[in-house]
Amino acid sequence: MKIKSRRIPGIEFFSIIFLLILLIFGVLGIISYQNASKVLKKSIIDSAVSRTEDNANLLNQHLNEFKTIIEGISFRGDIQSMEWEVQKPVLIEEAKRLGVLRFQVTDLSANGHCTTGVILDLSDRDWIQRALKGETVISEPFDGVIENRKILVCTAPIKNHAGEIVGTLSASIDPLYIHNMISKLTMGETGFSFVVSRKGRIIAHPDILLMQSEQSNEGKYPEFKNLYNDINIKNIGYTFYKNSGVSYFVSFSKITPSGWFLALTAPEKEVFKDLETLKKNFFILTAITIAFGILCCLLLVSYFLKTKIIEKLKMLVEEDERLLKESAELERLRTQFFANITHDFRTPLNVILASIQLCKFYFDREKLPNTINLSKHLKTMKQNCYRLMRLVNNLIDTTKIDVGFLKKNSSNHNIVKIIEDITLSIKEFTENKGINLYFEKSTQEIILACDVDKIERIMLNLISNAIKFTDQGGSIFIMVQDRGERVLISVRDTGIGIPKEKQQSIFERFVQVEQTLVKNTDGSGIGLSMVKSFVEMHGGSIRAVSEFGKGSEFLVELPVTTVEKREEQFSIEEVESQRRIERINIEFSDIYYS
């Protein structure tokens, strides 16, 4: 087989491939970097917010512990007595122990005494009114009357033994108390933490002077505008702000139900310094990846070229081997066919010759012929003549099919009657073989355009095969079924069946079932191939359903179509009947009867 040469792509093609690969690597690298940056930034933010939340919970726990201490003092009997002379020494001692600035006790009218000796009227204080309702409260920073500076007050209700509120106990503390709790909470290298109220008032801040100044009043820090906006709608989160031209990141989390928030802040560069490291590593890795990609592309292109050449050569070799095998198989089938056909021609000729010799012998030996033997031998000669005629017809029709000379002469006929007449015509043959023959139809008439001669040859071939391969006592079932636009013709027997590996090839020319499985039968292997050609000539299909040892069924489907009637269409039943008998004798010529 001649191998066609193919032009191998030049350096221009591979240069374009390299550029495309580099472009793909670059795009993928940028996408990877962007995704990694987003993931890392989100991770940093989530970590900062989570850390802020944990510390806010810890600070809240410390404040609650301080509230619990004040509540514990308020439960003491000498405090519940509401007698200042009894309460005073106890509170002075507790102030020293706890490190608070002072204690004060008020009655239900919010008038009271202070451990510094001052009598106070605190009726205008919000936290006093909340404590008289049973709530323990820590106030926001305010200007203390006695200390003349910013202070915080933790106030708890005083209840008697009956559980009734009889007054309040307040502890004044320095805002540094809260600042000391958060002083070690930092972010980055220069970051810090502070506490702010929902209204924007700073509760604790590293800049003590700033915290104690008037600027700590609500809304005095415009750089925290974003923070103030966010803490009014969220309990936890983060935001950005600018101060002196520097961009800052701040995360916040709610501390107490009173509306305080813990905030951790640091310059944005310090918080997201890992992003800069990622950026540098990305450029280094991208350069390495591109270099490695170029190297891989060179290796792959080299391997690809070698592989393509090898695959092309292998395909050519495999194609040559396949053609060689097909040629050898075709030659084997052709040789087997001619061996079979030679034997099939020789056998009837030998039988005819022997019969003629016997007839001559009887004539020579006796003046009166032996009519019985003579009739028998004449019948044998006639049957073998039919066999020769069948072989010759099949060979001629096969050749015509190959060259396209065999045509279909269609006319409208009742296909049900044709099949039924054929079935009745062969009943004598099946009875002589001891085989039961059954015919079934779903309707009396189905008119379709067909070539009667070819339909008869289809049916006679299928039925003759069924008779040959069915033992005495078996059955053959012939059925015609109306399926609307198609008609189904079935020929089923209870014979030896067809091996599974042969069912796909029985319609191929020269193919026969193994001779060892079929006894007392002859054939050239072109009968079913011709049947298939005749069926397809009518626009139909044929298939076989078989189980080895249980029988076979051949199913023929034909389209129900009609043609315009021709004037020369006529039929003489006696002539048609005689022709059918002659055709049956030809088709059944290789079936021997005992």
CA atoms of 496 and 479, how far apart (whole Å): 20
| pLDDT on residue 342 | 55
What mean pLDDT comes out for the span 71-93? 91
What mean pLDDT comes out for the span 272-292? 78
Report which listed range, 19-23, 48-52, 569-573, is most confident.
Answer: 48-52
pLDDT tens per residue across span 232-272: 788 888 888 887 788 888 888 888 676 788 888 889 888 88
DSSP at 118: -
* Summary mean pLDDT of the chain: 79
| Dihedral sign, Cα of residue 36, residue 39, residue 44, residue 47 | negative
Q: pLDDT-based confidence at 420, cuts 50/70/90?
A: very high
> Which residues on neighbouring strands pair with residue 450, listed in sequence order?
411
> Is residue 414's pLDDT more than 90?
yes
DSSP per residue over 8-39, as a string?
A: PP-HHHHHHHHHHHHHHHHHHHHHHHHHHHHH
User: Token digits for 453?
Assistant: 């001669």
- Which stretch of 23-27, 68-72, 276-280 has the lowest confidence by average pLDDT? 23-27
Q: pLDDT-based confidence at 416, cuts 50/70/90?
A: very high
DSSP at 254: E
Q: pLDDT-based confidence at 516, cuts 50/70/90?
A: very low
| pLDDT on residue 561 | 92
Contact predicate 499/513, CB 8 Å: yes
Contact predicate 524/461, CB 8 Å: no
Residue percentage of the chain with pLDDT more than 70:
72
Amino acid identity for residue 116 in this structure: T
| pLDDT on residue 103 | 93
| pLDDT on residue 105 | 93
Burial 386-415 (b: 16+ CB within 10 A, else e): bbbebbeebeebbeebeeeebeeebbbbeb
| pLDDT on residue 177 | 80
pLDDT tens per residue across span 333-368: 765 665 566 556 657 766 776 776 677 677 666 655
| pLDDT on residue 570 | 44
Q: pLDDT-based confidence at 33, cuts 50/70/90?
A: confident
| pLDDT on residue 586 | 66
pTM above 0.75, yes or no: no
What mean pLDDT comes out for the span 52-72? 89
Report which listed range, 198-207, 264-273, 275-284, 404-413, is most confident.
Answer: 264-273
Distances (CA, A) of 444 to 485, 552, 555: 16, 26, 20
Residue percentage of the chain with pLDDT more than 90:
20
Contact predicate 591/464, CB 8 Å: yes
CA atoms of 478 and 437, how far apart (whole Å): 8
> Is residue 402's pLDDT more than 80?
no
Q: pLDDT-based confidence at 571, cuts 50/70/90?
A: very low
Helix (H, G, I), strand (E, B) or coil at 239: strand
| pLDDT on residue 568 | 45
Strand locations in 186-310 (E):
192-197, 202-204, 236-243, 246-254, 260-267
Q: pLDDT-based confidence at 58, cuts 50/70/90?
A: confident
> Is residue 499's pLDDT more than 80?
yes
| pLDDT on residue 520 | 47
Report which listed range, 177-181, 309-313, 418-422, is most confident.
Answer: 418-422
- Which stretch of 234-238, 386-390, 449-453 has the lowest confidence by average pLDDT? 386-390
What mean pLDDT comes out for the span 367-375? 58
